[in-house]
Amino acid sequence: MTEKNREPYPLRLKPIFKKRIWGGQKLREIFGKDIPPFEKIGESWELADLPEDKSVIVNGQLSGWILRSAIDIYPKEITGNENFSLPFPLLIKFLDAEDILSVQVHPDTQTCRRLGKGEPKTECWYIIKAQAGAYIYKGLKSGVKRNEFAQAIKEGTVEKLLKKVLVQAGQCHFLPAGTVHSIGAGLLIAEIQTPSDTTYRVFDWNRVDEKGNSRQLHIEEALESIHFEPTEDDLSVTTEGRLVDSKYFKIDKVHQTDSCEVLLLPGQMKTLIILTGQGKIVSAETTEAVEFHSGDIIVIPAAYEGAIRFAADTEYLNVTI
């Protein structure tokens, strides 16, 4: 895709790996990611457009371009909207929770305005792998009030006020902004969220890093951000079909069998998260193909026309905005 030849094609992006105190090596073991060996890599940012982290295209004529720059030059071809508003409205990650994450919360728009800082964040977790007995914490137990929660933070007893949920592979958990939460150990997760890295920690299980330092907590900001009366609909769990249907993004879970072909017609940009299987995406106009395997993220431009050909039974998430 150049000024002279604007034919769109599926875009592959370079992952951005994040070392985390709770991370492991499953991204290498399960997906073959080229992460640093012997380091605790907790996150692979597969699609990002944040001030400090921006995805880079690694295939085709736009190889080496920042995704944001490509959209800025070719907004209609990639997004379907000549006046597409940047930053890109998604942040997609793989999370390897070898150990439990901190108890945390992300603010909503109103809280960001009230605090005068931060970016709102709504997210969902698709459980890819889960060891026996794996769990998450998702929301507060019924009736927990702000003063009670603040006292539990001081006493180090936050856990007893959280909803503990046993999880299995194939589940999708939606977490709107304002939901206090934590991911337990033994989980590999695809996280789809709005483009924000604003996280307020309220409890970190009394851990210290390799230098003996505790991670920073953000208690006042967290207390301002938590929704102490969430609805049950906010904490829904889905496993098939349309997993998420929010104002921020929509996610569909798709299964295709070996040797199946799915047509791709122009009209809407799609982001595919390949969970299992493999195949290739072929253009209706050229002989060029983009291959994919489990653990790949592919952005299909709105103007692209072609087909997905599956070389094995494949499961993937189709994310649209």
pLDDT tens track of the chain, all 321 residues? Answer: 545 456 899 999 999 999 999 999 999 999 999 999 999 999 999 999 999 999 999 999 999 999 999 999 999 999 999 999 999 999 999 999 999 999 999 999 999 999 999 999 999 999 999 999 999 999 999 899 999 999 999 998 999 999 999 999 999 999 999 999 999 999 999 999 999 999 999 999 888 777 888 889 999 999 999 999 865 555 678 999 999 999 999 999 999 999 999 999 999 999 999 999 999 999 987 778 999 999 999 999 999 999 999 999 999 999 999
Residue 113, phi-psi category: left (phi > 0), alpha (psi -120 to 50), beta (remainder)? alpha
What is the predicted pLDDT for the residue at 130?
98
What is the predicted pLDDT for the residue at 233?
52
Are 92 and 192 within 8 A, CB to CB?
A: yes
Residue 103 CB partners (closer than 8 Å, separation 6+): 137, 158, 159, 162, 180, 181, 182, 201, 202, 203, 204
Residue 91 CB partners (closer than 8 Å, separation 6+): 45, 47, 48, 49, 50, 192, 193, 194, 195, 196, 197
Q: Which of 176, 107, 110 is nearest to 139 (CA)?
A: 176
Q: Does the active-site annotation cover 201?
A: yes
- SS percent in the chain: helix, strand, coil, step 5: 15, 40, 45
What is the predicted pLDDT for the residue at 4?
44
List the Cα angle 97/125/269 in 5-degree steps.
125
What is the predicted pLDDT for the residue at 285?
79
In the chain, list all ranges with CATH 2.60.120.10: 11-242, 250-320
What is the predicted pLDDT for the residue at 236?
75
| Alpha carbon distance 250, 257 (integer Å) | 23
| Alpha carbon distance 84, 135 (integer Å) | 38
Token reading at 92: 């997609």
Q: Kindly provide the b/e burial profile for residues 125-155, where b requires at least 16 CB atoms within 10 angstroms of the residue's own CB.
A: bbbbebeeebbbbbbbeeebeeeebeebbee
Report how far Cα 274 is from the mean position of its chain's Cα atoms. Answer: 13
What is the predicted pLDDT for the residue at 211?
81
| Alpha carbon distance 64, 68 (integer Å) | 12
DSSP 103-149: EEE---HHHHHHHT------EEEEEEEE-TT-EEEEEEPTT--HHHH
Residue 35 CB partners (closer than 8 Å, separation 6+): 17, 25, 27, 28, 41, 44
CATH 3.40.640.10 correct for 11-242: no
Three-state secondary-structure class, residue 89: coil
CATH 3.40.50.720 correct for 250-320: no
Q: What are phi and psi of 85, to 5 degrees?
A: -95, 120
What is the predicted pLDDT for the residue at 232?
54
- The catalytic position among 28, 201, 215, 242 is 201
